[in-house]
Amino acid sequence: MLTSERGSAPGRTRNFAFSRIGFALSLAIFLIAAFVLYHILRDINPRALLAALKATDPRTLIIAACFVAAGYLTLTFYDLFALRTIGRADVPYRVAALGSFTSYAVGHNIGASVFSGGAVRYHIYSKLGLSVVDVTKICFVAGLTFWLGNVTVLGLGIFYAPEAARAIDQLPLWLNRAFALLLLALLAAYVAWVWIRPRVIGRDDWRLRLPGGPLTLVQIAIGIIDLSCCAAAMYMLMPAQPNLGFVTIAVIFVAATLLGFASHAPGGLGVFDAAMLVALWQFQKEDLLAGLLLFRLLYYIIPFVISLAILGARECVLSHGSRPLVRAAAPPLSAASEYVRERTDVP
């Protein structure tokens, strides 16, 4: 026993060291972004910002909102795909949609979405008998779908428009293209790896069979559609001039989103915005900031409010439905009268 504890101690030490490194990197990203954001926005003109917000065409807002809705609709297939992957085809789509929408809407706004979104998922799926292990597997498969989509979009986007990536990382065009080819090569290698034969990861109850080659392509398609809808919403809210291409905006948007995700800040607050403002320096700051604020309203705040309302209403319905029914014709007996009745009953 002592030997096993000693043997596991180095593993725990390594995990603790990695967690500290991850926390330090997240904090560094956030602090750098806060510093950059302060220097960019310190001379912002509030009146010009308000004027830019008021000048936004309502039709533009409606179209952007439709793209956001399409993005959240696509997110529901993250959980549906994950549930089918772990063998829970009995969970209906409406429950998967509820678990996906609420977990992502809450996780996006609270931060540390792996834990906050996972807690919401468990709260919903546990009612159908799913365990912590099942929910963990769902989170893993959904996360895998997210990363496969990101790698595909970034790889193809940076290869096509390396200048978009240079706006953030300040690297030469050839190096960005080389990085894009590396991403696509890794993606192709993974698809080939799961296509050759079934792949199982983990051990004991944590064993998970990864989706095969054709299903991995479905994962990639889901991720691409999700990111494309989000990027399209951001593109609609961009200032009209200068007219940058959709691919350029999409690459910058995805890269800024990943930086915000790495910071673990709620909604990538500060980090996402700083990356967008730095990369899209061609735009008037007040106009660009207005678009970013409107995107936050549509993609983060409104879905968060809706998800809280849904969860609250659901809890009210469940608590009301779980109340015991009392028969009016049989008033409850007191403890004393019940005791006397049992003692005097004749068999």
CA dihedral 261, 262, 266, 272 (to 10 degrees): -70
Question: SS3 for 208?
Answer: strand
Q: What is the DSSP string of 6-55?
A: HHHHHHHHHHHHHHHHHHHHHHHHHHHHHHHHHHHHTT--HHHHHHHHHT
A 10 A CB-CB count for 174 gives 9
pLDDT by residue (tens digit) across 110-128?
866 777 788 889 989 988 8
What pLDDT is recorded for position 292?
92
Q: Give the pLDDT mean for 208-229.
A: 94
Q: Which residue has the higher pLDDT, 229 or 51?
A: 229
A 10 A CB-CB count for 182 gives 11
Alpha carbons 230 and 267: distance in angstroms, whole number: 14
Q: Kindly report the average pLDDT of the chain as a whole number.
A: 81
Question: SS3 for 209?
Answer: strand
What pLDDT is recorded for position 338?
43
Q: What is the pTM of this model?
A: 0.79
pLDDT by residue (tens digit) across 139-158?
999 999 999 999 999 999 99
Q: Give the pLDDT mean for 151-175.
A: 89
Q: Which residue has the higher pLDDT, 111 or 311?
A: 311
Alpha carbons 84 and 324: distance in angstroms, whole number: 35
Q: Give the pLDDT mean for 323-342.
A: 38
CA dihedral 152, 153, 156, 161 (to 10 degrees): -160
What pLDDT is recorded for position 331?
38
Alpha carbons 69 and 233: distance in angstroms, whole number: 10
What pLDDT is recorded for position 192?
96
What pLDDT is recorded for position 69?
96
Q: Which residue has the higher pLDDT, 6 or 264?
A: 264
Is the pLDDT reported for residue 219 higher than 90?
yes
Alpha carbons 312 and 241: distance in angstroms, whole number: 43
Residue 323: pLDDT band by 50, 70, 90 thresholds?
very low
Is the pLDDT reported for residue 216 higher than 60?
yes
Is the pLDDT reported for residue 82 higher than 80?
yes
What pLDDT is recorded for position 269?
73
Alpha carbons 284 and 127: distance in angstroms, whole number: 50
What pLDDT is recorded for position 176?
92
Residue 185: pLDDT band by 50, 70, 90 thresholds?
very high
Alpha carbons 261 and 113: distance in angstroms, whole number: 9
pLDDT by residue (tens digit) across 247-289?
989 999 998 888 877 776 776 777 888 888 888 888 888 889 9
What pLDDT is recorded for position 167?
84
Alpha carbons within 13 angstroms on the beta-carbon side of residue 279 total 28
- Pairing status of strand 208-209 against strand 200-201: antiparallel
End-to-end CA distance of the chain, in Å? 59
pLDDT by residue (tens digit) across 15-67?
445 456 655 666 666 666 666 666 666 777 788 888 888 888 899 999 999 99
Residue 305: pLDDT band by 50, 70, 90 thresholds?
very high
Q: Which of 102-111, 217-226, 229-238, 288-297 has the lowest mean pLDDT?
A: 102-111
What pLDDT is recorded for position 28?
67
Beta bridge mates, 209: 200
What pLDDT is recorded for position 321?
60
Alpha carbons 252 and 168: distance in angstroms, whole number: 7
Runs of H (alpha helix) within the chain:
2-41, 46-54, 58-85, 93-110, 113-125, 132-160, 162-169, 173-196, 213-236, 246-263, 271-279, 285-296, 302-321, 335-344
Contact 232, 249 (CB under 8 A): no
Contact 213, 178 (CB under 8 A): no
Residue 169 is given by DSSP the state H
